Structure 1
Amino acid sequence: MKLRTGLLLGTVFLAGITVGPSFEQKAAPAFMHLLGTPAWAEDAGKTNSAETLRLFTLLGRVMDIVRTEYVEPVSDKDMVTNALDGLVGNLDPHSSYMTEKQYKDMQVEISGKFGGLGIQVQEQDGHVRVVSPMEGTPGARAGIKPGDFITEVDGKSLDGMTLDQAVTKMRGKPGTAITLTILRAKAPKPLKFTITREMVHIQVVRSALYGKVGYIRLNEFDDDAESAMHKAYDKLKAEAGGKLSGLILDLRLNPGGKLDQAVAVSDDFIAEGEVVSTKGRHPENNHRWDAKGTDITDNLPMVVLINGGSASASEIVAGALQDHQRAILVGQRSFGKGSVQSLIPIPGNGAVRLTTARYYTPSGRSIQGLGIAPDVPVKESKDDEGIGYRESDLKHIITNTGGTHGKAPSRTDLPPMISTVKETPPDNWPTFDITKPDTDYQLQQGLRVVRAMAGMPPGNLPGVATTASSAKGGAPVPAVPHAPR
Structure 2
Amino acid sequence: MPLSKFLSCCLLSSVFLTFAPLAKAQNSVETNKKEQPSDAEILAKMELFAEVLARVRDNYVTEVSEKQLVEHALNGALASLDPHSNYSPPAEFTEQREAAKREYGGLGIEVSMEGGLVKVNYAIEEGPAYAAGIRSGDYITAVAGDSVLGKDLNAAVENMRGLAGEPVTVTVLTGQSAPRDIIVTRAQVRGRAVRHRIEQGLGYVFIETFNNDRLTEDLEKALKELEAELGGTIPGLIIDVRGNRGGLLTQSVSVSSLFLDGGEVLSARGRTDIDTQRYHAEAGELYPEMPIVVLVNSGSASAAEIVAGALQDRGRAVIIGRRSFGKGSVQSVIPLQENGGALRITTQRYYTPSGNSIQGRGIMPDFLVAAQPDKGELRKRFREDSLPNSLINPDDTDYEEDYDAILYPSEDEAESVDFQLRKAIDVLKTSRYQALLQAQNQFPGQNLPKSAFLQ
TM-score range, shorter chain: 0.5 to 0.7
Count, aligned residues: 338
Deviation at 1:346, TM superposition (A): 3.1
1:87 to 74, 77, 92: 77
In structure 2, what is the Cα distance between the partners aligned to 1:102 and 1:137? 35
Is the CA contact (8 Å cut-off) linking 1:379 and 1:441 kept in structure 2?
yes
Is the CA contact (8 Å cut-off) linking 1:245 and 1:454 kept in structure 2?
no
Amino acid of the structure 1 residue aligned with 2:77 = L
Is the CA contact (8 Å cut-off) linking 1:302 and 1:327 kept in structure 2?
yes
In structure 2, what is the Cα distance between the partners aligned to 1:323 and 1:32? 47
Match of 1:326 in 2: 316
TM-score (norm 1): 0.61
The answer to which of 71-80 and 99-108 deviates more is: 99-108
Q: Deviation digits for residues 182-233 of structure 1, max 9, x if unmatched? A: xxxxxxxxxxx99527349764321112243111111111222222222222
1:429 to 413, 430, 454: 413
Match of 1:442 in 2: 420
SS, match of residue 430 in structure 2: helix
SS, match of residue 254 in structure 2: helix
Match of 1:219 in 2: 208
Amino acid of the structure 1 residue aligned with 2:419 = Y
Is the CA contact (8 Å cut-off) linking 2:207 and 2:244 kept in structure 1?
yes
Match of 2:179 in 1: none
1:205 to 194, 203, 206: 194
Amino acid of the structure 2 residue aligned with 1:395 = P
Match of 2:306 in 1: 316
Match of 2:325 in 1: 335
Match of 2:389 in 1: 396
Match of 1:479 in 2: none
Equivalences for residues 209-358 of structure 1 within 5 A = 209-222=198-211, 223-346=213-336, 349-358=340-349
Q: Which has the larger radius of gyration?
A: 2
In structure 2, what is the Cα distance between the partners aligned to 1:395 and 1:37? 25
Amino acid of the structure 2 residue aligned with 1:289 = Y
Deviation at 1:396, TM superposition (A): 1.0
Deviation at 1:430, TM superposition (A): 4.7
Q: Deviation digits for residues 296-325 of structure 1, max 9, x if unmatched? A: 223311000000011111111111111111
Q: Deviation digits for residues 54-99 of structure 1, max 9, x if unmatched? A: 0111111122112222233323321221122112222101112223
Is the CA contact (8 Å cut-off) linking 2:79 and 2:389 kept in structure 1?
no
Deviation at 1:32, TM superposition (A): 8.2
Deviation at 1:448, TM superposition (A): 1.6
Is the CA contact (8 Å cut-off) linking 2:427 and 2:433 kept in structure 1?
no
Alpha carbons of structure 1 residues 349 and 299: separation in structure 2 relative to 1, 3 Å? farther
Equivalences for residues 32-51 of structure 1 within 5 A = 33=14, 36=17, 39=20, 47-51=37-41
Alpha carbons of structure 1 residues 77 and 299: separation in structure 2 relative to 1, 3 Å? farther
In structure 1, what is the Cα distance between the partners aligned to 2:262 and 2:291? 17
Deviation at 1:332, TM superposition (A): 0.5
In structure 2, what is the Cα distance between the partners aligned to 1:406 and 1:78? 42
Is the CA contact (8 Å cut-off) linking 1:364 and 1:405 kept in structure 2?
no
Alpha carbons of structure 1 residues 386 and 318: separation in structure 2 relative to 1, 3 Å? farther
Equivalences for residues 131-170 of structure 1 within 5 A = none
TM-score (norm 2): 0.65
Tell me, yes or no, if structure 1 residue 379 matches structure 2 residue 370: yes
Amino acid of the structure 2 residue aligned with 1:33 = S
Q: Which has the higher contact order (CA 8 A, sep 6+)?
A: 1
Alpha carbons of structure 1 residues 354 and 37: separation in structure 2 relative to 1, 3 Å? closer
Which 5+ residue runs of structure 1 have no aligned equivalent? 1-30, 117-134, 142-173, 176-192, 408-420, 432-437, 457-485
Is the CA contact (8 Å cut-off) linking 1:365 and 1:406 kept in structure 2?
no
Is the CA contact (8 Å cut-off) linking 1:381 and 1:424 kept in structure 2?
yes
In structure 2, what is the Cα distance between the partners aligned to 1:393 and 1:311? 14
Alpha carbons of structure 1 residues 236 and 62: separation in structure 2 relative to 1, 3 Å? same
SS, match of residue 256 in structure 1: coil
Amino acid of the structure 2 residue aligned with 1:220 = T
1:365 to 353, 356, 370: 356
Match of 1:182 in 2: none
Deviation at 1:439, TM superposition (A): 2.3
In structure 2, what is the Cα distance between the partners aligned to 1:101 and 1:258? 26
Is the CA contact (8 Å cut-off) linking 1:365 and 1:405 kept in structure 2?
no
In structure 2, what is the Cα distance between the partners aligned to 1:318 and 1:38? 35
SS, match of residue 272 in structure 1: coil
Q: Percent identity?
A: 38
In structure 2, what is the Cα distance between the partners aligned to 1:242 and 1:450? 18
Match of 2:49 in 1: 59
Deviation at 1:351, TM superposition (A): 2.2
Deviation at 1:386, TM superposition (A): 6.3
Alpha carbons of structure 1 residues 363 and 455: separation in structure 2 relative to 1, 3 Å? closer
